[in-house]
Amino acid sequence: MMGLVGWSVAIPTLLGIALGIWLDNRYPSEHSWTLALLVAGLVIGCANAWHWLAKEGREIREQETDDDK
């Protein structure tokens, strides 16, 4: 399960970095697109992992309640 959580954070972060590098090379500016999109990808990845873990936790609690009956 921890591997899935890691990948759910890593993939959006890496995609943000790749897009940022492309934008920095294509449209240079005084602000770094790479850094901004790295942070955005990290935030999206963490939100994705949190949502996934919350869903799994709910399913586990539901199974435990069903087993107790």
pLDDT of residue 1: 66
pLDDT of residue 34: 96
In angstroms, the CA 32 to CA 23 distance is 9
Q: Coil, strand, or helix at residue 29?
A: coil
Quick check: pTM over 0.75?
yes
pLDDT tens, position by position, 5-36: 889 999 999 999 999 999 999 999 999 999 99
Q: Are 20 and 37 in contact (CB under 8 A)?
A: yes
Q: Are 16 and 40 in contact (CB under 8 A)?
A: yes
Q: Which two tokens stand for residue 8?
A: 């759910």
